């Protein structure tokens, strides 16, 4: 652990629940003023095993609050109203706050405690390339205090925003490798390691699109940390259709009586040697079987896997190539399971055959992968919102964040972004509302460095609420069909349907596209418009201020 007391002999230290301050008495020399502090740090190091220590830096906002009360001042001349939301009530408006986000968070804690469903932030990455301003100056890469300044800066804001989250709320934080490890430990400190959900790896650049040739490595990914407020948050899973019978293609014929019967626990099983059975592959049918390889988590994940591992796996050499019929196992109409032993020494795992489950659900839930590929979207995000700004997060990426955080189900939810940048999070909330009729709201906070609030954020939000001139591609899905194995036999009919759709819509759209990707075939009608329609909504504008 780094002894930062040697770097700076005074000031408050924070991290892992410990703090220390200079205890120098009046008239003490510099050498003696350091000793009590060093002793305190060494004592704290013995008490804790793991964590961060950094030097806390007092910010101007904290100094001002000693004498003045922080407030948010409404500036009505910057409010935005769309024609369909002119009567929006005060508590249904979206909010944009210009000023120090620490100031804004402190004020929001008075009006929105435990009311935010999802927080997304894209804080400065502290790369040393003039992306992080601390105390009105850029923090350079060579600054030996850069990590400490960044941690102090982030700790205050994360502590403040934590109190805004609902008990089932979540926070997502975009970051790159510069501060990834520090941020993970810091979030463990603020939210608790038990509330860490996952870290998504997000592909944002193409391998061959190298912008800086002098770097040792080309960074193609960034990271997205996800934490929950408490265990009341319910993890969202993706749904997949479970009605297909495409895998139920195996018929098993018993050609002769079993050669052997044997006991496996309380079950008497039948053993068919090679030549006494036949496995036939047919067209999919609910009366047939699906073959499942017994490997990985399946070995302990269900009753068939556990049965095989407990009673049959040790018999693979002795019963090579045999088919074993086990009664009273599984949950299908057959009432038994067939287990197929490996036919050669090169095959390690056995298989079992199961029928269509009796209680099969129409959809099943699967966990999301912790890898997201948004290369194309990051490369084209510069065109979004009608404003020119480097470093936008794509709206589609933010919609995925909302999906992962459960916002698709929370149609009245509130989203907070206190590093708002160009306002992409606000646009994403409005896009989601437009798509499903929701009434979600956003609260955005941004400073006005380089006049970003008035030149970028506010104009963009006005654009997306009211509409703006732009060359817009508008796609309409005319057909979206998942391709299955059984479709191979009826491809002529499917192609005829596609041709019919294409012919019917040729005059309605400038072009009709046909695509096949991810086992889905789509027919898309495309129009090119000269104006992007407004998404609706309204916005109230506030500015941080102090009152005596």
Return the pLDDT at 8: 32
- Cα distances (angstroms) measured from residue 30 to each of 6, 40, 55, 92, 537: 12, 17, 18, 57, 60
Give the highest mean pLDDT range of 53-57, 149-153, 437-441.
437-441
Higher pLDDT, 6 or 423: 423
Higher pLDDT, 354 or 178: 354
From 3.40.50.150, 3.30.1120.80, 3.90.198.10, 1.10.8.60, which CATH number describes the 60-239+368-470+535-547 domain? 3.40.50.150
Residue 41 CB neighbour total at 10 angstroms: 18
Answer yes or no: are the C-beta atoms of 417 and 101 closer than 8 Å: no
What's the CA gap between 96 and 396, in Å, rounded? Answer: 21
CA-nearest of 158, 156, 125 to 141 is 125
Higher pLDDT, 17 or 409: 409
pLDDT by residue (tens digit) across 148-189?
888 989 999 999 999 999 999 999 999 999 889 999 999 999
> Rounded to the nearest 5 degrees, what angle is found at the Cα of 538, between the Cα atoms of 398 and 117?
45
Answer yes or no: are the C-beta atoms of 421 and 122 closer than 8 Å: yes
Alpha helices (H) along 48-135: 60-64, 101-111
pLDDT by residue (tens digit) across 309-334?
999 999 999 999 999 999 999 889 89
- Cα distances (angstroms) measured from residue 458 to each of 136, 433, 450, 452, 505: 23, 19, 14, 8, 39
pLDDT above 70 (res 509)? yes
Is residue 16 classed as helix, strand or coil in its secondary structure? coil
pLDDT above 50 (res 5)? no
Is residue 163 classed as helix, strand or coil in its secondary structure? coil
Which residues are CB-contacts of 296 (< 8 A; sequence separation ≥ 6)?
A: none
Which residues are CB-contacts of 184 (< 8 A; sequence separation ≥ 6)?
A: 196, 199, 225
Q: Give strand pairing partners of 80.
A: 539
End-to-end CA distance of the chain: 43
The pTM of the full predicted model, rounded to 2 decimals, is 0.77
Return the pLDDT at 201: 97
Structure tokens at 111: 């009006």
- Domain residue extents for the chain: 4-55, 60-239+368-470+535-547, 250-360, 471-533
Structure tokens at 495: 């192609």
What's the CA gap between 267 and 306, in Å, rounded? Answer: 14
What's the CA gap between 131 and 173, in Å, rounded? Answer: 16
**Mean pLDDT, the chain, integer:** 86
Return the pLDDT at 143: 54
Q: Among 180-194, 209-223, 280-294, which stretch is predicted with the lowest mean pLDDT? A: 209-223
């Amino acid at each position: 652990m780094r002894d930062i007391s040697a770097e700076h002999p005074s000031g408050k230290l924070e991290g892992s629940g410990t703090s220390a301050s200079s205890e120098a008495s009046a008239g003490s020399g510099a050498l003696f003023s350091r000793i009590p502090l060093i002793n305190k740090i060494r004592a704290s190091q013995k008490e804790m095993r793991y964590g961060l220590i950094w030097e806390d830096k007092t910010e101007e906002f904290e100094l001002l609050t000693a004498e003045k009360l922080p407030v948010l001042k409404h500036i009505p001349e910057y409010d935005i109203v769309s024609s369909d939301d002119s009567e929006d009530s005060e508590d249904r408006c979206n909010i944009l706050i210009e000023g120090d986000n620490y100031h804004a968070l402190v004020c929001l804690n008075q009006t929105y405690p435990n009311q935010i469903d999802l927080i997304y932030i894209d804080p400065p990455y502290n790369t040393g390339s003039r992306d992080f301003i601390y105390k009105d100056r850029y923090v350079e890469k060579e600054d030996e205090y850069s990590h400490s300044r960044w941690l102090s800066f982030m700790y205050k804001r994360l502590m403040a925003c934590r109190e805004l989250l609902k008990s089932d709320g979540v926070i997502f934080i975009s970051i790159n490798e510069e501060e990834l490890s520090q941020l993970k430990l810091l979030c463990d400190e603020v939210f608790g390691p038990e509330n860490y959900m996952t870290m998504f790896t997000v592909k944002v650049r193409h391998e061959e699109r190298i912008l800086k040739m002098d770097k040792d490595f080309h960074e193609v990914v960034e990271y997205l940390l996800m934490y929950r407020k408490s265990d009341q948050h319910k993890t969202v899973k993706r749904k997949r259709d479970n009605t297909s019978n495409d895998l139920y293609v195996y018929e098993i014929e018993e050609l002769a009586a079993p050669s052997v019967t044997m006991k496996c626990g309380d079950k008497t099983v039948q053993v068919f040697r090679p030549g006494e059975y036949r496995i036939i592959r047919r067209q999919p049918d609910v009366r047939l079987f699906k073959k499942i390889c017994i490997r990985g988590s399946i070995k302990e994940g269900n009753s068939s896997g556990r049965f095989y591992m407990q009673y049959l796996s040790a018999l693979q050499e002795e019963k090579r190539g045999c088919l074993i019929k086990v009664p009273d196992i599984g949950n299908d109409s057959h009432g038994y399971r067939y287990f197929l032993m490996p036919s050669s020494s090169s095959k390690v795992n056995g298989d079992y055959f199961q029928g269509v489950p009796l209680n099969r659900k129409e959809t099943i839930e699967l966990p999301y992968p912790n890898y997201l590929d948004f290369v194309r979207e990051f490369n084209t995000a510069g065109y979004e919102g009608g404003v020119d700004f480097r470093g936008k997060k794509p709206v589609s990426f933010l919609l995925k964040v909302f999906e992962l955080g459960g916002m698709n189900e929370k149609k009245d939810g509130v989203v907070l972004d206190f590093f708002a940048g160009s306002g992409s999070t606000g646009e994403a909330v409005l896009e989601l509302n437009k798509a499903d009729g929701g009434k979600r709201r956003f609260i955005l906070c941004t400073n006005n460095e380089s006049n970003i609030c008035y030149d970028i954020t506010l104009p963009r939000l006005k654009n997306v609420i009211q509409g703006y001139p732009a060359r817009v591609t508008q796609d309409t899905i005319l057909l979206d069909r998942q391709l299955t194995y059984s479709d191979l036999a009826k491809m002529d009919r499917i192609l005829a349907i596609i041709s019919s759709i294409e012919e019917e819509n040729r005059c309605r759209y400038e072009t009709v596209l046909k695509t096949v990707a991810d086992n889905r075939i789509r027919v898309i009608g495309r129009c090119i418009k000269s104006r992007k329609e407004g998404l609706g909504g309204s916005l109230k504008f506030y500015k941080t201020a102090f009152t005596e």
